[in-house]
């Protein structure tokens, strides 16, 4: 039963990552890393396929080996956080705009402290 749940979660992660490739604020690589995690527990063949993928494989391997995020990935994530803060400041009333600001500061700070590949 647990194997099937991991398999389903892996496919959902692949789907969200695919959508993220076309939507600017939805990340792609973290969903692929999550899919690899799920497939490692459910389907070694699908995990190997992700690890051998031309675009996502190197990111997944760097994350597994060193917890590393590329500088380009960090900049993209922080730009997305910055855009989210800007939208919140424009469209959200006080004090609600503080929630995305706090989330962006916490998430962005964590991302920036990860090692670079």
Q: What is the pLDDT of residues 54-85, one digit of tens each?
A: 988 999 999 999 999 989 888 988 888 888 88
Q: In this predicted structure, what is the pLDDT of residue 32?
A: 92
CA pair distance 47, 52, nearest whole angstrom? 9
Q: In this predicted structure, what is the pLDDT of residue 1?
A: 85
Chain-centroid distance of CA 47 in Å reads 17
**Residues 53 and 36: beta-carbon distance below 8 Å:** no
pLDDT in tens, 8-53: 999 999 999 999 888 776 788 889 999 999 999 999 999 999 999 9
CA pair distance 56, 39, nearest whole angstrom? 14
CA pair distance 25, 79, nearest whole angstrom? 9
In this prediction the pTM is 0.77
pLDDT in tens, 21-30: 887 767 888 8
Number of other CB atoms surrounding residue 44 within 10 Å:
10
């Amino acid at each position: 039963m647990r194997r099937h749940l991991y398999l389903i979660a892996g496919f959902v992660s692949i789907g969200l990552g695919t959508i993220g490739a076309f939507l600017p604020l939805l990340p792609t690589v973290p969903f692929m890393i999550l899919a690899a995690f799920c497939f490692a527990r459910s389907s070694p063949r699908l995990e190997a396929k992700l690890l051998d993928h031309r675009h996502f494989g190197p990111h997944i391997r760097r994350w597994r080996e060193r917890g590393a995020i590329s500088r380009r990935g960090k900049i993209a994530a922080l730009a997305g956080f910055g855009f989210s803060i800007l939208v919140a400041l424009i469209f959200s009333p006080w004090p609600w705009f503080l929630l995305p600001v706090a989330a962006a500061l916490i998430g962005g700070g964590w991302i920036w402290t990860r090692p670079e590949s």
